[in-house]
Structure 1
Amino acid sequence: MHLYRHARVPCACLPSAVAAAPTDPRAIEPWTECDILIDGPLIVGVRSATGSVGLAAPPDTAQTDLGGRIVWPGLIDAHTHLDKTHTWDRAPNPRGEFWDAIEILRHDATARWTTADVYRRAEFGLRSAWAHGTNAVRTHLDSGGELGAESHEVMAQLRTEWQGRIALQTVSLCNVAAFSAGEADRVMKLTRDGGASAIGGFPQPNPDLPAQLDYLLAAARELELGVDLHIDESGLAQAECLRATAEAVLRNEFPYPVTCGHNCSLSLHEDARAASTIDLIKQAGIQLIVLPLCNLYLQGRQWDEQGHPRTPQWRGLTRIHELMQVGLTVACASDNVRDAFFAWGDYDLFEVWQAGVRVGHLDTRMHAAAATVTTAPATIMGLPQYGRVTPGSPADLVVSPAATFNEFLARPAAPRRLIHGESFRESEPPDYRELAAH
């Protein structure tokens, strides 16, 4: 056993019997100082000044004083693209445009995606995530046309190899229109054989969208899986695939989890229409994922008549406060990393979180903000013990050098220490030269 003392843990990640201010949305420093008892791979007890849960340490238990630093549970990245990752050097997107990215990566996939290539890049991505403190990842895998077989095979292998460190889930990503027009059998087979956690897709506005969504939900029901969709990732004010998805879930009485990522266009709708859509989302029980880095990068790009770039006026962030206000589950995630959809990134969820807090003004909802990379994505991934500091949770902790959230946000590049089980572990990310060697 090992007792880690004086850890300031976000209240959102603690049992209610321990958290000092579990529900106050106005608290600018919603943390509780705790002692955390770990036995092998699990947290077995938590104690604070206001209460304790399951804490009974033998007198000779090893102890480490964490000095009143902000300490997070292992982070949860619920929306990534490990099949596309780290392709920027060979397939860049100079204009940073969404539809350019699709074509660029389609060509790269056709020419270069082998099992060895996908494994090398994805494994590098997982090592990066692990080095930054993440212990659960969900990745979407392109599964339409001729793509997907290699990626699903690789992820099944990595899921086994990373067991006990990173819980790895997959989602079969396809064009929803193509799925209902003949690709369903192949995508469903990849989903089933690859042990995927959900069927994904990127529905586009069109007259047949309700029928296409009904078809997708019927397939997911047959597989007894939820769906995890890319929704309204554009600056089109008329795009309402999010609303159509909520209506389809209600119409079909779909019993499995539904997650919608991006949801950019919701911010461009009239307030009354957006509120009506959010009400439908709540009725349907849909969970939401915000992708701040990728949406800031792709959305709102403009060019003048001579082809010179113009300053963006809209950056693609969805109505995150309005979604949180009605009690919906809202997470933040990495999305693409070093590919044509996002040139940078490192699977560092603190970078993602800090961007979301600053750009989305989540400093006014710090309790809910802390949940966006911990308990909320754990709920979306169906991992109830993850993203929490509570008995039965994985013994993965991220120890920052900051004593407050304000310090944490003010110095984002500060080094962190990582706990895995009863001891500290290495936190050095892999060297990019590994990728350059291929």
Structure 2
Amino acid sequence: MAEFPIPTSGSFTLTNARVHFSLAPGFEAVFDGDGFALADIAVADGRIASIAAAADGGNIAAFDLKGRIVLPCFVDCHTHIDKGHIWPRSPNPDGSFMGALGANAADRRARWSAEDVARRMDFSLRCAYAHGTRALRTHIDSDAPQEEISWPVFEQMRERWQGRIELQAASLVGIENVRDAAWLEQLAVRVAAAGGILGAVSYMAPDLEDLLDRMFRTAIAHGLDLDFHADETDDVGAVSLKKIAEAALRHRFQGKILVGHCCSLARQPDKDVLDTLDKVARAGMAVVSLPMCNLYLQDRRHDGTTPRWRGVTLLHEMKARGIPVAVASDNTRDPFYAYGDLDMLEVYRMATRILHLDHPVGDWPKAAASTPAETMGLASDGLLRAGGPADFIVFKGRSWTELLSRPESGRMVVRAGKPIDAGLPDYAELDDLMVD
């Protein structure tokens, strides 16, 4: 956006910026039906000095945005950057969930060296950074012996990206692996040493309650938060979200719990849904929907018929019960999802269409910014407020329909009060990793 030559140092004011009420606490103005109001945003020393209702004036140090939308930098709380961009060498043979599991496992066993993981992680982070992501949580495939390779790579990447993207990581293992108590203890020690989150894929194993109890006891013993994949299926009998909530209540767990997917909930009878949501709310859990990947994988048919449902969970019902809800990128260009670029604007645009996060928009924009930030323990992120960091994105769109109708490839990402100079990396950089 060359027409707004924001300086790389010093103080400045953006006038007539269109700011959303849900992402600007303390900003008082008359908001329109979409929740927007025009604001003057003053920036000094890398922080937002003030946000005030737009006023006519002759501030020569001001840059008139003419009603363009300004949003805080995004927070992406569920990704898989350790497996990102392997599609060219390990595509999903039939687009199914089981096909993805098989292709990913084979690729991991054959190809996931420290160099391979590090290069693909760094490529993914450069994409996220260029699109305006401020914080990101990735899951780390942690089946032995991969955890001894990928966790050190993550720690190196977190240090390398310090100050640009706040990185978190959660272990990713099948819940049945938890039967090996000694191995789980070893994993927890490794995760704790990296400042990570203990996580697993939860499904309807015959001893699920015992396995969840072991997960919760281990997390409590090591002071770890928890992050689960749950019920990524259309099977009505998949109720591990409810089992996780019951375990949290049983153990009176005080840490943070984030659960992703929860697809089967949308297929269950209303009575069962309400029981589950009541328990999730009482347990203080948060839920993240992955609309693009869930739409891609769920209800994929191989009989020449069209899919009949959207694959996403019940975010509206959850939000109505006070359950914190978010949307996130999930997989990118791997066997679980052939597309994606860690662009949270794309995620929110698709979520709006798939989940109907509009008419009215209300405070749904929080699902891509402040709510995942709170879930990740990052209180200052995902918001525009006086005294906070000047980390925001200036878009060309002046309304939701303008913003969500185009990719906004010309957006300006501002970090610590300075526009970043970061282009998207070329896929060709990874070509040598895609050949045998």
Give the TM-score, by structure 2 length. 0.92
Contact 1:144 1:187 in 2 (8 A): no
Structure 1 distance, partners of 2:337, 2:121, is 16
8 Å contact 1:217–1:254 — kept in the other structure? yes
> Which residue of structure 2 aligns with residue 24 of structure 1?
none
Residue 172 of structure 1 and its aligned partner are, at CA, apart by: 1.2
What secondary structure, in the 3-state scheme, does the structure 2 residue paired with 1:259 have? Answer: strand
How far residue 414 of structure 1 moved from its aligned partner, in angstroms, is: 5.0
The range that moved more, 419-428 or 347-356, is 419-428
In the alignment, what sits opposite 2:416?
421
**Does structure 1 residue 195 correspond to structure 2 residue 192?**
no
Match of 2:12 among 2, 9, 28: 2
1:16 matched residue in structure 2:
26
Q: Judging changes above 3 Å, is the alpha-carbon distance between structure 1 residues 219 and 432 closer, same or farther for their aligned structure 2 residues? A: same
- Note if contact 2:40-2:54 (Cα within 8 Å) is conserved in structure 1: no
3-state SS in 2 of match to 1:235:
coil
Aligned to 2:3: none
Deviation for aligned residue 1:13: 0.8
Residue correspondence of structure 1 range 8-157 to structure 2 within 5 A: 8-18=18-28, 20-21=30-31, 28-48=33-53, 62-157=61-156
CA distance in 2, matches of 1:329, 1:255: 16
User: Does the 8 Å contact 2:286/2:323 carry over to 1?
Assistant: yes
**CA deviation after TM superposition for structure 1 residue 38, in Å:** 2.1
Letter matched to residue 409 of structure 1: L
Structure 2 counterpart of 1:7, one-letter code: A
> What runs of 5+ residues in structure 1 fail to find an aligned partner?
22-26, 51-58
**Contact preservation (8 Å) 2:413, 2:420:** yes
Residue 366 of structure 1 aligns with which residue? 361
User: What displacement does 1:64 show?
Assistant: 2.1
* CA 79–395 in structure 1, closer or farther in 2 if over 3 Å, else same: same
Amino acid at match of 1:290: S
- Give the drift of 1:315: 2.4
Partner of 1:300: 299
- Return the alpha-carbon distance in structure 2 between the equivalents of residues 265 and 29 of structure 1: 32
State the AA in 1 paired with 2:414. I
Contact kept? 2:85, 2:334, Cα under 8 Å: yes
Aligned-partner Cα distance in 2 for 1:270–1:371: 29
Q: 2:393 aligns with which of 380, 394, 398?
A: 398
Q: Does 1:338 align with 2:333?
A: yes
Q: Which amino acid aligns with 1:195?
A: G
Partner of 1:216, secondary structure, is: helix
Contact 2:224–2:255 (Cα < 8 Å) also in 1: yes
Q: 2:322 aligns with which of 310, 322, 327?
A: 327
How far residue 186 of structure 1 moved from its aligned partner, in angstroms, is 2.5
- CA deviation after TM superposition for structure 1 residue 63, in Å: 2.6
Alignment deviations for residues 281-339 of structure 1 (CA, whole Å, 9 cap, x no partner): 111111010000100111001122xxxx4211122111111111122111000000000
Q: How many Å separate the matches in 1 of 2:418 and 2:60?
A: 13
Q: Closer, same or farther in 2 for the Cα pair 1:350/1:60, shift >3 Å?
A: closer
Deviation at 1:220, TM superposition (A): 0.7
Q: Is the 8 A contact 2:21 2:27 kept in 1?
A: no
**Alignment RMSD:** 1.8
One-letter amino acid of the structure 2 residue matched with residue 393 of structure 1 = G
Aligned equivalents of 1:315 and 1:181: distance in 2? 36
Matched length: 420
Question: What is the deviation of 1:223?
Answer: 1.4
Distance (whole Å) between structure 2 residues aligned to residue 17 and residue 180 of structure 1: 51
> Counterparts of 1:392 and 1:156 in 2: how far apart (Å)?
30
Identical columns (%): 37
Aligned pairs (5 A) from 1:198-277: 198-277=197-276
C-alpha distance in structure 2 between counterparts of 1:362 and 1:19, whole Å: 23
- Alignment check: 8 A CA contact 1:93 1:100 kept: yes
Instruction: Supply the distance in 2 between the matched residues of 1:219 and 1:11 (Cα, whole angstroms).
Output: 40
Give the conservation status (yes or no) of the 8 Å contact 1:417–1:427.
no
Return the offset for 1:256.
0.4
Shift of 1:20: 4.2
Structure 1 counterpart of 2:327, one-letter code? C
TM normalised by structure 1 equals 0.92
Structure 1 residue identity aligned to 2:307: P
CA apart distance, 1:424: 2.0
Instruction: Please point out which of 353, 356, 368 is paired with 2:348.
Output: 353
1:200-235: CA deviation from partner (whole Å, max 9, x where unpaired):
111111331111111101111111121010010011
Identify unmatched segments of 5+ residues in structure 2. Answer: 1-10
In structure 1, C-alpha distance between the alignment counterparts of 2:281 and 2:386, rounded to whole Å:
30
CA contact (8 A) 1:354 1:412 kept: no
* Aligned equivalents of 1:40, 1:150: Cα separation in 2: 40
Cα 1:110–1:61 change in 2 (3 A) is farther
Does 2:428 match 1:433? yes
- Deviations along 1:127-154, one digit per CA (max 9) or x if unpaired, are 0001101110000101123222221111
Does the Cα contact within 8 Å between 2:233 and 2:298 map onto a contact in 1?
A: yes
* Counterpart secondary structure, 2:124: helix
